[in-house]
Structure 1
Amino acid sequence: MEPKITVIVPVYNVEKYLPECLDSLAAQTYPNLQVLVVNDGSTDTSPQIIADYVRRFPSLFAQLNKPNGGLSDARNFAMDKAEGEWIAFLDSDDWADPDYYAQMAEVMKQGADVVVSDIEYFYENGQPSWIMPGLNPHAFESPIKQAFLSPMFAWNKLYRADFFTKQQFRYPIGTWYEDIPVTMPIFAQCQKIGIQHAAWIHYRQREGSIMSVTQSARLKEIFPVMKQVRDQFAAMGCSEQYHDELEYLHIEHLRLYGMFRFLRSPLTKELKTMSDTVMQQFYPHWKKNPYIRYLGWKDQLFLKTFGSLTLPLYKRVIH
């Protein structure tokens, strides 16, 4: 029999999208799948939708109910019920093609600790979709370092279950950016990372999603998350080994793509000051990071020219 894959699906008030997500799981061709659908205190019809799929596919779906605690809490709640040798996550407003987990499993069988797939960004407003590579396409020193420079999402990956069952990795509760302090240390402990070069998982972009909310003070939560990652790598004794990769992670989230969100926020000056402080304390020579040269010229130009003097200009341009 094929190794079992447990897919964990947190659900909170997504009645509009949930059937498409669960239909995509019911259609999977992989023969040994367990789907744990966690009702995280929904107040809409999501619990009834889940119950209907459990009734129709009792050997595939199981419904877990809990009070609302957020995405991380819902994922963590399901960990002890996971039966699979391998674990995956799927957000309840996204969906996967029928062969997705079968293809991920084929790569996993080649001895990978984690398998990563490409991602389709799908827009509700009709904007054209586009593909994000699951692994940074540049050839770096090792696949592990390549992974550190790649998207940190939890749900475009298939993991050895013992990262969660034996090593007890859990997602931090009550914060945004929760994937980073789990994905990064897991990558650091991998011997082999596999890649499935197909965008068979579809990432829905909709109004109100966390990454599009720029008015919230919760943007500040990236700073304790980055501290957690620094502390994790220090505890594992590999801060120096992966210095450039950790530095680049900070560049990406505090000086580049994260800064684009900061510039759209009413807290721009405060967020920039916090960013300046962290980078000066931990990565004062970040502009010499070797991975910056792989960025597009616009991103490189922004990193070279953004500062206190140009902040007003960029705040007008980036909106």
Structure 2
Amino acid sequence: VEGGHSEERSESLSGGEMAMEVEGGGGVVPQCFQEPVDWTGFEHGEHLPPPPHSSGEVYRARHGGSGFECVFKVLVIPIPNAQDIQPVIQGIKEAWNGPVGTHPGICALYGCTYDAPNHRVVVATEFMDGLSLRDHMRPGRPIPERVVGSVVSQLVDVLAFLHSQWHRAHRDLKPGNILLNRKGEVKVTDLGQSRQLQATLEQMSSFVGTQQYMSPQRIQGATYTSGCDVWSLGLIAQQCILGEFPYDAVLRERNETDPSIDIMIQLMEEGPPPPLPAGFGAEAREFCRVAMEFDDTQRPSSRALLEHPFVVGCADRQPLGGWVAESLAHMGRA
């Protein structure tokens, strides 16, 4: 939502026999999402900013009977045979509900359904009033180190949980999947990007924009590991601190004024981006450097990063909460 402008819509889901529900991520399932879910009871409200290159839409939704608010992510998947969507729904369920408990830094999943008449997968998740990190990132507008540190500190904790307790990687960590609120809380979303769903969406060119946050190993076709998430986090942290994508300096040196995604991927395969300049904090510089260690065998684990001085020293959420409120006000969302 740019400049406070938003699109208001009132629309209900078709529902039907194909509806399938997924329990919330370890917490109490709201009454309106307890089975069987009446998906026609929800209305779409504000149209939230969708991820770049996405085939779907994101709405703030409200249950008419209880007033409960959540977010609907709607993905149009044109599969003629409705039964073929079952593996996708099951993949979302399995990816979001881990084998042991949950984590407060994982955005709650309330439900998921397939709207067969419109060929849409609808994923209902927790509403975060600070939008996504991507919505606050502006070219040439660096984010204060303490604010970035608070985001990083919470994300490292979530990743350490996913990697050591659930034994899985997020697979699609990017600014659009990092949600914020005015309390200074950070939560990751889109854990449901299962292999089945990714395979389907890649056929629709829905993940072109995501490639810029992939690790060099993943770009080269290697197996996705927890170290890929660590690289993505380091790249995101440096982008926030710099106020520009970390490889932009290299592009300027090569006079690439309008680089294609292929050129960007080539740069990432050649090596890590230039380190943060000396004018930034030593702890922030060191964190970004080790998180983007080009040799993935030398890259620290998320669990090891829990002890990094930049992570330990930025555990306070107050700077982030205040900054989110100010940034939202700047967008006209006070």
Fold shared, TM-score > 0.5 on shorter chain? no
Scaled by the length of structure 2, what TM-score is found?
A: 0.30
Scaled by the length of structure 1, what TM-score is found?
A: 0.31
